[in-house]
A and B are shown apart, each in its own frame.
Chain A
């Protein structure tokens, strides 16, 4: 399968991937290496994984990272309540310590968290490790063993090796510098805001009921808006919301009614200072230039 085939498969599921991204995904699949996607929020990093799992018709296992995420929530944890009950029951049945120990530290008592679940599937799933930069540095170290050898070591149980290698996609917003050790194990692609043509294709794929005339206006407007110095530049998701809002309000042209345009801008501008900066006059000027 060449990268073009992958690209068109993704497109069928409504995801328009740039050539850079398609080649990187293709390599990640064929070389069985994790893929690290970096880029601003809202450029479709997470959606890659979701679409890929749909294309490959496999499970999507998602691990949302946050500060303080630890092994117990990401890899595995023992089911303490069950263990405690079993020990009590065994004591009454007169079972010996050795057999009880073996029993309560078996797979039966193991609660699988996303990372362990990902490597114990029969068919390779898509493992999405989302916003890895939010987790702290110690957590990256946990990931190294899983990402390079696809195995998990549990002291009481031994090493669990992957039945099938999952397709791993990591995303990062670049709020923190990732360690070199992690970067080295991954293929890397920087996902930028899409070009005008790509974004038009995305809009067409996601909202087919937007008229051609309006959709070029919308894309023109959003692209121009991204050139302004905003605190939070609107991403693709915001653009789609904006289009849906305009369609919902039955607007045919952006320059028709400044008041309505301004009220729909709430879908694009997500901070107070950005909303204060794009006054109706500025919005009208941008809409005029976008035409």
Chain B
């Protein structure tokens, strides 16, 4: 058990310490405002604040907002309040990616999302990675590639603009017809009582005009997962442009890259400057063109991000060739799990466009039963052609 921090003699008092603690949490990625500091102080007056256990519990109830934060809270609490004699813990730079127009450090785009991997003091170690690109990368490999490719070499701005148009059309094609709530509409299927009664007042209670309401169409949320392993390098140009366009066209869309790891790139791609967004993404995607672990990446996605971002109104778009180094069962299970969240799964495979292509790769075969649509996509034109197929989904 660590000792309670001894604060310096010139320390102004408990209020300042609490605000210091809130600042400490904030710099470690917890989203807290001024009101929380006030609530935290109020909370401490309601309990025996001298007892570390009790104040730890009280502050945890006030300062955390989700399970991930609650898990990280203990380490953060210890580093501030339970440290042996140091007034301030050396703070690890902001993990959450703040979108700022003029600051772009390579640090805040360091792949691993701030989902609480690693402790405050010991980030993940990375061992067993390849240092550079090899030749003959057509088979899938397990080795992560550490050489960094600048994706800006691959994608041109006019392509992004073109992709944006296509993404917008695809987004419009994907409409969810189910909704239990109704809104006022000229040709609705039900009576809108509230409005009808209100209008009938003028005619002495005779509802002359019957107003109606209907179920509105709901936009579907697109979640795109793009494979950027070695075997996909040739097609990356199209898909990355599509992702960039998608994120700019649709504010609710979500995007991920995977090779041997899974990286969430949504925040980076929301950058106002399209090419800079691609630049930020290439910083995050180190390992680009390396091995592929599709199954484990999808399993990780189903277990973590999907719980937060995928629901019955989502469409999960997987852009990959299906060449996986991991056992196919993992991919099958991951997709089954994903499917249970009620989403539609679409797999776009560039190889399907080839003559006599058959999904014989074991991973692809395992995935097939779980897919709502399995289609080919090599070019932006192919993606645009999908519009009609998506509309009937």
Contact = CB atoms under 8 A, between A and B. Distances in A.
A3 B54 contact: yes
A231 B58 CA distance: 33
Given A24-B57, A68-B180, A175-B307, A87 B201 contact: yes
B179 A27 contact: no
A26 B307 contact: no
A20 B57 contact: yes
A191 B181 CA distance: 32
Contacts of B39: 31, 33
A43 B338 CA distance: 24
A80 B200 CA distance: 12
Contacts of B311: 175-176
Interface in B303-338: 307-309, 311-312
A180 interface: yes
Interface string A82-112: 0110111011000001001100100000000
A84 B48 contact: no
Interface stretch (B64-72, B165-173, B283-291): B64-72
Contact of A84 (B64, B205, B341): B205
B197 interface: yes
A266 B60 CA distance: 37
Given A31-B43, A190-B67, A84 B197 contact: yes
A30 interface: yes
Contacts of A186: 65
B158 interface: no
B214 to A, nearest CB: 14
Given A175-B311, A176-B308, A176-B311, A30 B46 contact: yes
B42 interface: yes
B62 A38 contact: no
B47 interface: yes
B197 A83 contact: yes
Contacts of A3: 47, 54
Given A87-B200, A90-B205, A97-B202, A20 B60 contact: yes
Nearest to B200: A87
Nearest to A183: B65
Nearest to A28: B61
A258 B288 CA distance: 53
Interface in B186-201: 193-194, 197, 200-201
Q: Which secondary structure dominates where chain A touches chain B?
A: helix
B353 interface: no
A2 B47 contact: yes
B31 interface: yes
A97 B180 CA distance: 35
Interface of B is mostly: helix
A68 B202 CA distance: 32
Contacts of B58: 23-24, 27
A70 interface: yes
A121 B47 CA distance: 29
A134 B261 CA distance: 31
Nearest to B311: A176
Interface string A138-160: 10000000000000000000000
A27 B47 contact: yes
Interface in A186-211: 186-190
A67 interface: yes
Contact of A68 (B181, B201, B308): B181
Contacts of A190: 67, 70
Nearest to A78: B194
Contacts of B356: none
B136 interface: no
A84 B200 contact: yes
Interface string B34-61: 0110010011001110000110011011
B46 A26 contact: yes
A180 B312 CA distance: 21
B204 A87 contact: yes
Contacts of A36: 65
Contacts of A180: 31, 65
Most chain B beta-carbon neighbours within 10 Å: one of A27, A38, A136, A180: A27
Given A87-B200, A176-B308, A27 B66 contact: no
Contacts of B207: 84
A38 B197 contact: no
A174 interface: yes
Given A33-B39, A68-B180, A138-B181, 12 more contacts: A3-B54, A20-B57, A20-B60, A23-B57, A24-B58, A27-B46, A84-B207, A90-B205, A104-B197, A177-B308, A178-B66, A187-B62
Q: A-B pairs with the 9 shortest C-beta distances?
A: A68-B180, A87-B205, A183-B65, A91-B204, A23-B57, A24-B61, A177-B308, A80-B193, A88-B205
11 contacts: A2-B48, A27-B46, A31-B39, A31-B43, A38-B67, A70-B180, A78-B194, A87-B205, A174-B307, A175-B307, A184-B33
Interface of A: 2-3, 19-20, 23-24, 26-28, 30-31, 33, 35-36, 38, 67-70, 78, 80, 83-84, 86-88, 90-91, 97, 100-101, 104, 136, 138, 174-178, 180, 183-184, 186-190
